[in-house]
Structure 1
Amino acid sequence: MSDIVTSEQRGDVLIIRVNNPPVNALGIAVREGVTNALADVGNAKAAVLHCEGRTFFAGADITEFGKPPQSPSLNDMIEALENCPIPVIAAMHGTSLGGGLETALGCDYRIIDRKGRVGFPEIELGIFPGAGGTQRSPRLCGIPESLKMTLDGKPITAARAVEIGLCDEISDGDILENAIAFAETKTEKHVVRDLPVPACDQAELEKVLAAAQKSRRGQIAVENATRAVLASAEMDFDSAMENERKLFMELLNGSQARAMRHMFFAERLSAKVDGLDAQPGSLGLIGVVGSGTMGGGIAMAFANAGFAVRIHDANAEALKAGLEKIRALYLASASKGRISEAEALDRFDRIQPIDSWDGFAACDLIIEAVFERMDVKKAVFAELDAVARPDAIIATNTSYLDVDEIAAGTKDPARVLGMHFFSPANVMRLLEIVRGAKTSGKALVTALDAAKRIRKVPVVSGVCHGFIGNRMLKGYGREAGLCMMEGAAPQDVDKALYDFGMPMGPLAMGDLAGLDIGYDNRRSMVAGEDYEPLASVLQDRLVEMGRKGQKTSAGIYKYEASSRAPIPDPEVDALIENIAQEQGVARRPVSADEIVERCMLALINEGARILEEGIAQRASDIDVVYVNGYGFPRYRGGPMFYADELGLAHVLERTRHYQEKFGPKWWTPAPLLEKLAAENSSFGAWKKG
Structure 2
Amino acid sequence: MTDYVTVSRDGDVAIVTLDNPPVNSLSHHLREPLNAALVALRDDAAVKGVVLACAGRTFVAGADITEFGTPKATASPNLRELIVTLESFAKPTVAAIHGTAFGGGLELAMGCHFRVADPNAKFGLPEVKLGILPGAGGTVRLPRLIGPEKALKVIVSGNPIGAREALEEGLVEAIFESDLVANAVKFVREKAISGAPLIAVRDRQDRIAAAKADLTGFDAAAAELLKKSRGLDAPKRCVDAVRNAVTMPFDQALTTERKYFVDLVEGDQSKAQRHLFFAQREAAKVAGVGPDVKPRPVKRAGIIGAGTMGGGIAMSFLNGGIPVTILEMTQDALDRGTANMAKNYDISVKRGSLTEEAKAKRLGLLAGTTDYADLADCDLIIEAVFEEMAVKKEVFGKLDAIAKPGAILASNTSYLDVNEIAASTSRPSDVLGMHFFSPANVMKLLEIVRGEKTAPDVLATALDVAKRIAKVPVVVGVCHGFVGNRMLAARSAELEDLLLEGATPQQVDKVFTDFGWPMGPFAMGDLAGLDIGWRNRKSLGKTAAIGDALCEQGRFGQKTGKGYYIYEAGSRAPKPDPEVEALIEEKAREKGVNRRDISADEIAERTMYPMVNEGAKILEEGIAARSSDVDIVWINGYGFPVGKGGPMFWAELEGLGRIVERLEFWHGRTGKDVFAPAALLKRAASEGTGLSGARKGKAA
TM-score, structure 2 as length reference = 0.94
2:314 maps to what in 1?
299
Q: Does 1:199 align with 2:210?
A: yes
Q: Indicate which of 489, 500, 512 corresponds to 2:504.
A: 489
2:34 maps to what in 1?
34
Contact 1:502–1:633 (8 Å) recurs in 2: yes
1:156 maps to what in 2?
161
Report SS of the residue matched to 1:39.
helix
Q: Indicate which of 520, 524, 538 corresponds to 1:523.
A: 538
Q: Indicate which of 529, 534, 538 corresponds to 1:514.
A: 529
Contact 2:561–2:568 (8 Å) recurs in 1: yes
Moved more, 262-271 or 42-51: 42-51
How far apart, in 1, do the equivalents of 2:124 and 2:376 lie?
Answer: 45
How far apart, in 2, do the equivalents of 1:327 and 1:176 lie?
Answer: 45
Contact 2:616–2:680 (8 Å) recurs in 1: yes
Structure 1, gaps ≥5 residues long: 528-532
The code of the aligned residue for 1:176 comes to V
1:63 maps to what in 2?
66
Deviation of residue 81 (structure 1)?
0.8
How far apart, in 1, do the equivalents of 2:156 and 2:665 lie?
Answer: 41
Deviation of residue 155 (structure 1)?
0.8
Contact 1:139–1:198 (8 Å) recurs in 2: no
Deviation of residue 7 (structure 1)?
1.7
The code of the aligned residue for 2:323 comes to A
How far apart, in 2, do the equivalents of 1:157 and 1:449 lie?
Answer: 25
Q: Does 1:410 align with 2:425?
A: yes
Identity across aligned pairs (percent)? 51
Report SS of the residue matched to 1:666.
helix
How far apart, in 1, do the equivalents of 2:220 and 2:636 lie?
Answer: 27
Distance 1:458 1:320, change over 3 A: same
How far apart, in 2, do the equivalents of 1:450 and 1:170 lie?
Answer: 33
1:226 maps to what in 2?
239
Q: Does 1:141 align with 2:146?
A: yes
Q: How does 1:134-533 map to 2 (within 5 A)?
A: 134-187=139-192, 188-196=197-205, 197-200=208-211, 201-277=214-290, 278-527=293-542, 533=543
1:643 maps to what in 2?
651
Q: Indicate which of 557, 575, 585 corresponds to 2:583.
A: 575
How far apart, in 1, do the equivalents of 2:693 and 2:283 lie?
Answer: 15
The code of the aligned residue for 1:190 comes to I
Please provide the CA RMSD for this pair: 1.7
How far apart, in 2, do the equivalents of 1:185 and 1:3 lie?
Answer: 30
2:127 maps to what in 1?
122
How far apart, in 2, do the equivalents of 1:682 and 1:526 lie?
Answer: 38
The code of the aligned residue for 1:45 comes to K
Q: Indicate which of 618, 631, 643 corresponds to 2:639.
A: 631
How far apart, in 2, do the equivalents of 1:2 and 1:270 lie?
Answer: 35
Contact 1:327–1:345 (8 Å) recurs in 2: no
Contact 2:628–2:693 (8 Å) recurs in 1: no
Deviation of residue 519 (structure 1)?
0.4
Distance 1:175 1:481, change over 3 A: farther
Deviation of residue 93 (structure 1)?
2.2
Aligned length: 682
Contact 1:500–1:596 (8 Å) recurs in 2: no
2:545 maps to what in 1?
537
How far apart, in 2, do the equivalents of 1:48 and 1:688 lie?
Answer: 48
The code of the aligned residue for 1:638 comes to G
Report SS of the residue matched to 1:391.
coil
Deviation of residue 299 (structure 1)?
1.3
Deviation of residue 661 (structure 1)?
2.9
How far apart, in 1, do the equivalents of 2:184 and 2:373 lie?
Answer: 56
1:99 maps to what in 2?
104
1:530 maps to what in 2?
none
Structure 2, gaps ≥5 residues long: none
Contact 1:45–1:86 (8 Å) recurs in 2: yes
Contact 2:330–2:370 (8 Å) recurs in 1: no
The code of the aligned residue for 1:108 comes to H
Contact 2:284–2:474 (8 Å) recurs in 1: yes
Moved more, 134-143 or 456-465: 134-143
Measured against aligned partners, the alpha-carbon deviations of 1:36-69 in whole angstroms (never above 9, x if no partner) come to 2212223121111112333221111233233222
Measured against aligned partners, the alpha-carbon deviations of 1:498-554 in whole angstroms (never above 9, x if no partner) come to 111111111000001100100011112244xxxxx5xx3211101100111111111
Contact 1:138–1:198 (8 Å) recurs in 2: no
Distance 1:423 1:64, change over 3 A: same
2:2 maps to what in 1?
2
How far apart, in 2, do the equivalents of 1:193 and 1:604 lie?
Answer: 49
Deviation of residue 612 (structure 1)?
0.6
1:47 maps to what in 2?
50
How far apart, in 2, do the equivalents of 1:148 and 1:223 lie?
Answer: 12
Moved over 6 A (4+): none
How far apart, in 1, do the equivalents of 2:55 and 2:454 lie?
Answer: 42
How far apart, in 1, do the equivalents of 2:347 and 2:530 lie?
Answer: 29
How far apart, in 2, do the equivalents of 1:481 and 1:52 lie?
Answer: 60
How far apart, in 1, do the equivalents of 2:218 and 2:547 lie?
Answer: 44
Distance 1:173 1:279, change over 3 A: closer
The code of the aligned residue for 1:424 comes to P
Deviation of residue 22 (structure 1)?
2.6
Moved more, 141-150 or 673-682: 141-150
Contact 2:226–2:236 (8 Å) recurs in 1: no
Report SS of the residue matched to 1:626.
helix
Deviation of residue 685 (structure 1)?
4.1
Measured against aligned partners, the alpha-carbon deviations of 1:307-350 in whole angstroms (never above 9, x if no partner) come to 12111111221111111222222233233332322221111111
Report SS of the residue matched to 2:416.
coil
